[in-house]
Amino acid sequence: MGIGHLKRNWPIRVATVVLVASTSGCASRDGVLRGQQCIAPDARLATIMRSLDQLHGSCMPDTTGQISCDRLQQELGRQALLCPQHEPTLFVNAAFAYDMHRPTDAQEYLDIVLARRGSHPSAAILRSRIATEDGNLPYARRMLEEQVTLAPDHAGLHEALGGVLYLARNWTGAARELTKAGALGSPRWRIAYHLGLVEEAQGNVDNARRLYGESLQGNPQWSAAKSRLTGLPSQ
């Protein structure tokens, strides 16, 4: 999941999210932001995202773009301090931190969003990925199941839950959630690939071969499906 994920999932639904201080402005630890107010947060965040576009969607450290990336990181952090109740700002900060290999920082932003009542699909999906990478599958599953209850028609939540169930070797549950995700609009080529993984894990080679082939028909450049298909035993 890279910066592209960040851009595809922004903006998300605005909700009241408390990060620091009050609703009418906040003070940073050194007082630099004291008295400043959160004004037009959507427009400001859009401006920051346009700066990301100018970096061609990539902000990984390198010799040419590091200064610009650092400046973008500072701008996002400042925006979060000024607008602690603006959920899209918190999510973008979380996604940016994750892409910059700072999962702990990302987790802090996401946990603030998820502590609020209501449905927060984008935050839940990214938070579940961090939990999965930490080996905490029970937490990832529990959180996604709670969010699915709140937003049963969200394809991404079902797809993420299917992935967690697959890693937990719950083949029936994984296939069920992935099928639901496909019915709700997740790309068929991607669903076919993941269903192929489920079939392969159970030793159903013919079904896996068919599904990987279907995935490649939908997305001929999908290298993961090519690799899995090549690795299957010969007929």
Specify the pLDDT at position 165.
97
- Tell me how far apart the alpha carbons of residues 49 and 4 are, in angstroms, rounded to a whole number: 11
Cα 187 versus chain centre, distance:
16
| pLDDT tens string 65-78 | 555 777 888 888 88
Torsion sign across C-alpha atoms 126, 131, 132, 137 = negative
- Tell me how far apart the alpha carbons of residues 183 and 187 are, in angstroms, rounded to a whole number: 9
- Tell me how far apart the alpha carbons of residues 118 and 116 are, in angstroms, rounded to a whole number: 6
Between the alpha carbon of residue 74 and those of residues 32, 93, 97, 101, 162, the distances in Å are 13, 10, 11, 16, 36
> Is 196 in contact with 228 (CB distance < 8 Å)?
yes
- Tell me how far apart the alpha carbons of residues 4 and 99 are, in angstroms, rounded to a whole number: 10
What's the whole-model pTM score? 0.78
- Please, what is the Cα angle at 72 between 71 and 77, to 5 degrees? 100
The residue to which tokens 């932001």 are assigned:
33
Query: Above 60 in pLDDT, residue 21?
Result: no
DSSP class of residue 24 equals T
Mean pLDDT of 47-76: 69
Between the alpha carbon of residue 62 and those of residues 10, 65, 97, the distances in Å are 25, 6, 16
**Residues 6 or more apart from 103 whose CB is under 8 A from it?**
97, 130, 133, 134
**Residues 6 or more apart from 59 whose CB is under 8 A from it?**
3, 52, 65, 68, 69, 72, 96, 99, 100
| DSSP H helices in 64-187 | 66-82, 87-99, 103-114, 121-133, 137-150, 155-167, 171-183
Q: What is the pLDDT confidence band of residue 5, given thresholds at 50, 70 and 90?
A: very low
Considering just the CA atoms, what is the radius of gyration of the chain in Å?
20
Percentage, residues of the chain above pLDDT 70:
79
Q: Is 93 exposed, middle or buried (0-12, 13-18, 19+ CB in 10 A)?
A: buried
Q: What burial letters (b/e) apply to 38-74, b meaning 16+ CB within 10 Å? A: beebeebbeebbeebeeeeeebeeeeebeeebeebbe
Mean pLDDT of 129-153: 96
| pLDDT tens string 142-182 | 999 999 999 999 999 999 999 999 999 999 999 999 999 99
Mean pLDDT of 216-226: 96
